[in-house]
Amino acid sequence: MSTPRAPLASAICYRDPKAALKFLEAAFDFELVMLIEDGEGNLVHSEMRYGDGVVMVGNEWSEDHKSPVSIGGKNTQSVHIHVETDIDAHCAKARAAGFEILMEPETQFYGDRTYRCRDPEGHIWTVGQTVKAVTREAAEDATGLKITGWM
């Protein structure tokens, strides 16, 4: 019986996707669940799982699908990971795996403690852990923002 497919997945391009598989596993404890290689051992497709989420890791494959390292460090998306474990220890592990920490862990008005990091090819990731329950009203009072919907 196969594992159910994640209802939403991100796909990220790397110049060196095999190296990316290693540093994503080392930094974030992602689990490699699919690896497809050609006859020369080149990566064709891969998927890594974290909880119920999946990220596809692949090669640059067109002029419009590039690693940030190939386009002057520009990003058009970032990926967010929600963890249940100690966010400060998670940040330290990411740093040790070679991620540049762009924003140290900080508690946000909505009750999550988050940090932001850049992987060795320039992708920006955010990581958060809920550390306190905050109501919509309390978040609005703290920020002056009008919030519609609330988790």
Q: Mean of the pLDDT values across residues 99-123?
A: 96
Same domain? 144 vs 98: yes
Tell me what pLDDT residue 61 has: 87
Contact of 85 with 94, CB cutoff 8 Å: no
Is residue 71 assigned to a domain? no
pLDDT digits (tens, 9 = 90+) for 7-57: 788 999 999 999 999 999 999 999 999 999 999 999 999 999 999 899 999
Same domain? 136 vs 84: yes
Same domain? 18 vs 45: yes
pLDDT digits (tens, 9 = 90+) for 133-150: 999 999 999 999 999 987
Same domain? 116 vs 150: yes
Measure the CA angle with vertex 119, ends 89 and 40; round to 5°.
120
Same domain? 149 vs 85: yes
Domain total in the chain: 2
Q: What is the CATH number of the domain that holds 31?
A: 3.30.720.120
Is residue 144 assigned to a domain? yes
Tell me what pLDDT residue 3 has: 63
Same domain? 33 vs 90: no
Strand stretches in the chain, DSSP E? 9-14, 31-37, 43-50, 53-59, 79-82, 100-107, 112-118, 124-130
Residue with tokens 């290693």: 22
Is residue 68 assigned to a domain? no
Same domain? 95 vs 150: yes
Is residue 100 assigned to a domain? yes
Q: What is the CATH number of the domain that holds 148?
A: 3.30.720.110
Contact of 101 with 117, CB cutoff 8 Å: yes
Residue 5's domain comprises: 1-60
Higher pLDDT, 115 or 72: 115
Confidence of residue 124 (pLDDT cuts 50, 70, 90): very high
